Structure 1
Amino acid sequence: MNDGTITLPWLVVRQDDNGNRYRVGRYATRAEAQKIADSLGERGHKQLYWIEQIGQNGTK
């Protein structure tokens, strides 16, 4: 983008054992988001982590 903003189209999402979902963070690349999701998932808790890409208008 040329308007000086940073685009962070990749989300890391967490779902707990009660089914509640939370956005953990937004990242510039899929690889960066996957690295975070993998490291959080390795902690042995019951939460599930995954990545999603959002569109330019902020939708999935």
Structure 2
Amino acid sequence: MTDNGAVLPWLVIRQDEGGNRYRVGRYATRAEAERVADRLDTRGSRQLYVVEQVGRGTA
């Protein structure tokens, strides 16, 4: 939950070659998070972008 009370249960996570994971952002819907992940993934980098729901394997 953010300061304004909005629930943002969907995360975009960036995983690098070493297995390190970083939260890129939080989103209200899975579709929104997937759009962001897809946009980031097209940059040709070696990072992997995944979408996860808070409370499902995330802290």
TM-score normalised according to structure 2 size: 0.84
State the partner residue of 1:35.
35
How many aligned residue pairs are there?
53
1:40 and 1:17 map into 2 onto residues whose CA distance is 16
Partner of 2:8: 8
Runs of 4+ in 1 over 4 A off after TM superposition: none
Q: TM-score, normalised by structure 1?
A: 0.83
Partners of 1:19 and 1:31 lie apart in 2 by 25
Q: Which structure 1 residue ranges, 5 or more long, are not aligned?
A: none
Measure the CA separation in 2 of the matches of 1:20 and 1:50: 13
Tell which structure's C-alpha radius of gyration is larger: 1
Secondary structure at the residue paired with 2:25? strand
Give identity over the alignment, percent: 62
In the TM superposition, residue 18 of structure 1 has moved relative to its aligned partner by 1.3
Structure 2's unaligned 5+ residue stretches are: none
